[in-house]
Amino acid sequence: MRVEIWSDIACPWCYVGKARFEKALAGFEHRDRVEVVHRSFELDPHRAKGDVQPVLDMLTRKYGMSQAQARAGEDNLGAQAAAEGLDYRTRGRDHGNTFDMHRLLHLAKEHGRQSELLDALYRANFAEERSVFSEGDERLAELAVAAGLDADEVRRVLADPDAYADEVRADEQEAARLGATGVPFFVLDRKYGVSGAQPAEVFAQALTQAWGERAPLTLLQDGGDSAAEACGPDGCAVPRG
């Protein structure tokens, strides 16, 4: 079974939702047969790469809330993250464009390190003092290398704005086609969708339901009286004259 997760590194509920989903997956009976693919979604795709501002200021301007409301919201998110065992800085974080991070995540996917890089980016954005936005490509390269990627390959991708750009856009177009207007957005076997950072119990129920409703395999035969030759655990069929 495949689970696709659309998310953005700038999204605190994606940070929390990933932890909740992984808690559910860890307790799922068939977890070794579940493939998890992380897909790109930008919450602020039109923000220029160098346009970085404090999170609290972004919240007041984008959503029309007061500074007090923005601080209260961050405090609530900090408590939600702590309940999942996650560190979360409720003050002093900044916000910016995440496109290059998504491009690196597609590189990481090719090397089987996608989840590791996503965790590193989340942790850097939400828990660490150094910014993933204002320090430029060197900070992203440092995180990608720590997640197991080759330094030269990472720098080549960051230096080429077209590298993996089509893959990021394709993910975003697919999200729109599926009706995702926000993240995190979880799609199980392209049959069920779960929106938001649901409790682990909801993810567990969704995994069980999706697994139980998988269509059985239908074998197509050629209409003859015997099965075609094949190889199996006991060896291969030997043609007889």
Q: What is the pLDDT of residue 194?
A: 96
Report the DSSP pairing between strands 192-195 and 185-188.
Answer: antiparallel
Query: Both ends of the chain: CA-CA distance in Å?
Result: 42
pLDDT tens profile 101-118: 999 999 999 999 999 999
pLDDT tens profile 132-188: 999 989 999 999 999 999 999 999 999 999 999 999 999 999 999 999 999 999 999
- Contact between 39 and 208 (Cβ < 8 Å): no
Q: Which residues contact 124 (CB under 8 A, 6 or more apart)?
A: 130, 132, 139, 143
pLDDT tens profile 182-204: 999 999 999 999 999 999 999 99
- Identity of the residue numbered 18: K
Peptide bond into 184 cis (omega under 30): yes
Q: What global pTM score does this model have? A: 0.88
pLDDT tens profile 81-106: 999 999 999 999 999 999 999 999 99
Mean per-residue pLDDT of the chain: 92
Three-class secondary structure of residue 158 per DSSP: helix
Examine the pLDDT at 221 and tell me if it is beyond 90.
no
